[in-house]
Amino acid sequence: MKRTGGPIPKRPSSRAPSTRRAQFDRFDQTSRLGALLCLIALIGAGAARADERSHREAALLYLNVSHVPQRLVPLMQRIKNQQLRALEKWYVPSDLKGPAKSYIEEVTRLVSNEFSWNRVKDEFVDAYVSVYTEEELRGLVAFYQTRLGQKYLAKRPRLIEAGLAIAEGHVKALVPRIEKLAKRLQAKMEARSSSGAGESDR
């Protein structure tokens, strides 16, 4: 039978739904992949934070076991004594001795606040974390908890004082020799300056 009149209607394409389905599948796969990567990143970041926290805990444990907070006390006392010795060199009239005492007390308070353990603790932890691994810190803690480690900690202040005394003795011995060298240099500079001035006057 012959068709008459009008265009032949197009049959609906069977490819359109399958194309949309493929696009949806690709989008779904991409979304799942992105979610998986985000999850892996979060897990990795969490593990890194846990490792960092454990590392810092080991550093803080080391600082406490090695008596670092206690060693800040003599440091503050030394600064206070330096201020007292400096004040003794000044002439302080009797009517100003009260204010001078208040000055020392204020300096002591400032030093105590500045070097309080709560204030400097994190900075010490940062320093030790940057130098030692967690394994090394825990190894040091284990050593300091032994009898030999405890003895070392107990004797260390005396050894430090001995080392400072040795260095101070050598510095005192060097002072006259350094002063002699300084005078010799000064004499040469003055001689050269005088020579230059004489030539310029001609």
3-state secondary structure 45-86: HHHHHHHHHHHHHHHHHHHHHCCHHHHHHHHHHHHHHHHHHH
pLDDT tens for 114-129 read 888 888 999 999 999 9
pLDDT score, position 121? 92
CA distance 177 to 169: 14
Cα dihedral 148/153/154/159 (nearest 10): 110
pLDDT score, position 45? 47
Q: What is the pTM of this model?
A: 0.56
Token readout for 7 is: 């265009």
CA dist list (Å): 82 to 77, 78, 88, 104, 175: 9, 6, 10, 10, 22
CA 78 from chain center: how many Å?
23
Token readout for 173 is: 């011995």
**Of the candidates 99, 122, 107, 102, the residue with the CA atom closest to the CA atom of residue 52:** 122
The list of the chain residues with pLDDT below 50 reads: 14, 45, 47
